[in-house]
């Protein structure tokens, strides 16, 4: 554990809370990509199967459970409780374009060819592209609500902090996980345009719009 890992976890948790509060208070999931949330839920589900096999620490276990619960609640609110407000027309990214290559890559490039390891690798690869349906949706609608951009900012900040965590661990522990680092870099790159627009527009009280991501 180090400060970058802790701040990354806090940023990640804050992003999820912001999204849940936004949906609950507005009684609407307008502007939120249900497909991205499904992918994130799949990420957590496949990554945290070790909850049943390995105990690392109370902190680790609690955070995993919280992320899982928040992810499933978010999907429930989008597709069940507030489904009438869900913008299916603009949430049109084809998930097979992500799931098929990610699945194939997780079988080809992993640390060990075991079920849990392949699923963990799958979750790492999938997380790096899970935000694309949300960015694609924003590009189609032309703009995003301010609260949605705050959610995306903290989600991107979480990845940036985790990259700092990997760099810190490499210098202090001589630990390097190529799969996690490369995937983290790819995911952070997807946020670069958003970070620039967030600082130059959202923080100045302007509406945010994104170019076509794919």
- The most distant pair of C-alpha atoms in the chain lies apart, rounded to whole Å, by 51
pLDDT mean over 126-152: 85
* Residue given tokens 């995993």 in the structure block: 64
Q: Are residues 134 and 152 in contact, defined by beta-carbon separation less than 8 angstroms?
A: yes
Task: Output the pLDDT for position 196.
Answer: 74
pLDDT mean over 143-152: 81
Q: Is the pLDDT of residue 213 over 50?
A: no
Q: How confident is the model at residue 191 (pLDDT cuts 50, 70, 90)?
A: confident
pLDDT mean over 91-112: 95
Q: Are residues 140 and 134 in contact, defined by beta-carbon separation less than 8 angstroms?
A: no
Q: Are residues 2 and 165 in contact, defined by beta-carbon separation less than 8 angstroms?
A: yes
Q: How confident is the model at residue 208 (pLDDT cuts 50, 70, 90)?
A: low
Beta bridge partners of 144: 208
Task: Give 35-49 pLDDT, tens digit per residue.
Answer: 999 999 999 999 999
Task: Output the pLDDT for position 214.
Answer: 43
Percent of the chain with pLDDT over 90: 66
Task: Output the pLDDT for position 199.
Answer: 74
* Residue given tokens 């979480």 in the structure block: 158
* Residue given tokens 């497909």 in the structure block: 35
Q: Is the pLDDT of residue 209 over 70?
A: no
Q: How confident is the model at residue 148 (pLDDT cuts 50, 70, 90)?
A: confident
DSSP symbol at 82: T
Beta bridge partners of 208: 144
């Amino acid at each position: 554990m180090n400060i970058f890992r802790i701040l990354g976890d806090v940023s990640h948790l804050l992003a999820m809370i912001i999204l849940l509060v936004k949906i609950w208070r507005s009684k609407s999931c307008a502007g939120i990509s249900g497909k991205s949330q499904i992918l994130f839920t799949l990420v957590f589900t496949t990554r945290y199967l070790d909850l049943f096999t390995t105990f690392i620490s109370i902190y680790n276990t609690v955070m995993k459970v919280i992320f899982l619960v928040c992810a499933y609640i978010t999907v429930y609110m989008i597709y069940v409780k507030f489904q009438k407000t869900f913008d299916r027309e603009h949430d049109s990214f084809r998930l097979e374009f992500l799931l098929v290559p990610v699945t194939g890559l997780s079988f080809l490039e992993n640390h060990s060819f075991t079920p849990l390891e392949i699923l963990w690798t799958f979750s790492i690869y999938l997380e790096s592209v899970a935000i694309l349906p949300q960015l694609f949706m924003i590009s189609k609608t032309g703009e995003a609500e301010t609260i949605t951009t705050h959610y995306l900012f903290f989600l991107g900040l979480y990845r940036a902090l985790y990259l700092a965590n990997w760099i810190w661990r490499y210098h202090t522990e001589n630990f390097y996980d190529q799969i996690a680092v490369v995937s983290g870099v790819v995911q952070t790159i997807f946020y670069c345009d958003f970070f620039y627009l967030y600082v130059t527009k959202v923080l100045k009280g302007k509406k945010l719009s994104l170019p076509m991501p794919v």
